[in-house]
Amino acid sequence: MKHHLSIGLRVTSIALQLAYVKSYTHYLTVVELGYCFYLTALSYSINAFILVPADFYQQARFIDYYKAPFPLRSVLSLNQRLLLVAAGFTLLIGTPIWLAGKIHPFDLLLIFSLAVSLYLSTSIRNYLNNRGHNLFTGWMLFVEAFLKVGSFFLFLSVGMSHVNAFVLSTVAAFSIEFLCLALLFYRRVPCTTTPATHFDFASMLKMSSMVSFSSLCNWVQLQGYRVVYVWFGLVEVAGLYAAVSNLGTLGMNACSTVFSQMLLPKVYSSKGEYIFEYLKYAVLLCGTVVLGYFALGKILLYVLTKKEFEPYANLMVFGILVEAGNLLIGAVSTYFTIRQRALHLVSANIVGLVAAALGFSICLMRSPHNLYWLGFVLAFSQTVVCATLFFKAKRDFSSEVVHV
């Protein structure tokens, strides 16, 4: 019964996420959408370079604490230093962009708040879900989606600008979700203040450096266009592509979140051995979502967005394919992190970055307003990364079996 309720909550959260799309696409112009996605791309650079690799490092070590007392003091100390590094990175990268006139000063605070709130809520939710609290984490996904919609309208009602309302509604949702998750953690997870030697900051920097490089390559590969196109004065192109493809991305991401919350704990608990079963089911899920687009995609676009977006409905497919790639890449990254072989991620992401960079260059020189070429470049680069990682994981797993 609890399992079915958990799945039901996650499915309901998908509907609320779609309501959020309906809300912001209704109120924001294409230019405002372009700037919003530009800010979220800059924000995610902090996650990609610092916070996501650190979370991979921590989640791999949390495996030993699903049934043992949680080393709270060590983890808090580690994360305090981590967030200071993230703040320094924000200032280091953001200040020159601000001085160049490509961002407003208040936006620096927005992008940092968005990055940190996303990291905190996602990290603690993943740990609690892997520990067995999947029903509560299902409720939190539902609450998160509800808060995005509610806070967006609340901020608009008090006269906040559309762009700030969009970003702050997401920050508010992640922050409140984190507080709720932290309360459950406090009540249900036994903790110890005894220092844990393998939660060392220097060790984390060393182990996550390769994941950082790979994650940053992935960010440039998939979100770099949002920054470059804005800097080249193509805000409307970036906004239109992101708005329509994001509907496909959101649908795939919502399904991926439900899927990974259900099955990713098996990858951790098996210490990576479940990875190919996971990938098999993930590919089936991706195919199902693509079929769902052909059946319902244009109807959803008509219901959820503006009439001016209807001629570009096929861009949704690119959003689905790119996010499907993220699901597969994230799973294989987890596998290599658990096995402490993150070096395998580097070459695959370099290949994907080169493919994307060449593709973007051709797009900007030949046809900067062609939305479909942009989508093709993103989808192709993801395919290259996925194929490379799959063969590396297959070879790594086979060599492990031979040695055993």
Average pLDDT of the residues of the chain: 87
- For Cα atoms 29, 31, 33, give the angle at the middle one, nearest 5 degrees: 70
Helix (H) or strand (E) holding 201: helix 201-231
Q: Backbone phi, then psi, for 191, in 5-degree steps?
A: -125, 160
Which pLDDT band holds residue 174 (cuts at 50, 70, 90)? very high
pLDDT tens profile 300-352: 888 888 888 888 888 999 999 999 999 998 888 888 878 777 677 788 889 99
Which pLDDT band holds residue 402 (cuts at 50, 70, 90)? very low
Write down the pTM of the prediction: 0.84
Token pair belonging to 48:
């990609």
Q: What share of the chain is helix, strand, coil (3-state, %, to 5)?
A: 85, 0, 10
pLDDT tens profile 143-169: 888 899 999 999 999 999 999 999 999
The mean pLDDT of 11-26, rounded to a whole number, is: 81
So what's the pLDDT on residue 1?
A: 56
So what's the pLDDT on residue 164?
A: 94
Q: Is the pLDDT of residue 361 over 50?
A: yes
| Cα–Cα distance measured from residue 254 to residue 248, given in angstroms and rounded to the nearest whole number | 10
The residue count for the chain: 404
In the block, tokens 């993801």 appear at 382
The mean pLDDT of 201-214, rounded to a whole number, is: 80
Question: Nearest to residue 249, comparing CAs of 56, 43, 18, 49?
Answer: 18
Which pLDDT band holds residue 200 (cuts at 50, 70, 90)? confident
The mean pLDDT of 225-253, rounded to a whole number, is: 89
So what's the pLDDT on residue 270?
A: 82
Contact 335, 275 (CB under 8 A): yes
Token pair belonging to 360:
């973007």
| Cα–Cα distance measured from residue 40 to residue 92, given in angstroms and rounded to the nearest whole number | 17
Cβ-Cβ contacts under 8 Å for 277 (sequence gap 6 or more): 266
Q: Is the pLDDT of residue 404 over 50?
A: no
In the block, tokens 């297959």 appear at 394
Highest averaged pLDDT of the listed ranges 254-268, 333-347, 356-370, 383-397: 356-370
| Cα–Cα distance measured from residue 200 to residue 52, given in angstroms and rounded to the nearest whole number | 17
Q: Where are the alpha helices (DSSP H) in 28-104?
A: 30-46, 52-62, 72-99
Show the domain range for 273.
2-403
Contact 371, 240 (CB under 8 A): yes
So what's the pLDDT on residue 382?
A: 93
The mean pLDDT of 275-289, rounded to a whole number, is: 90
Token pair belonging to 140:
């939190």
- For Cα atoms 302, 303, 306, give the angle at the middle one, nearest 5 degrees: 60
Pairing of strands 70-71, 191-192: parallel
Highest averaged pLDDT of the listed ranges 179-183, 244-248, 251-255, 400-404: 179-183
Contact 333, 211 (CB under 8 A): yes
Contact 359, 381 (CB under 8 A): yes
Q: Across the strands, what pairs with 191?
A: 70
So what's the pLDDT on residue 6?
A: 60
Domain count, the chain: 1
Q: Is the pLDDT of residue 401 over 60?
A: no
So what's the pLDDT on residue 276?
A: 87
pLDDT tens profile 41-72: 999 999 988 998 899 888 888 888 888 888 88
| Cα–Cα distance measured from residue 262 to residue 338, given in angstroms and rounded to the nearest whole number | 18
So what's the pLDDT on residue 188?
A: 87
So what's the pLDDT on residue 140?
A: 84
Contact 6, 134 (CB under 8 A): yes
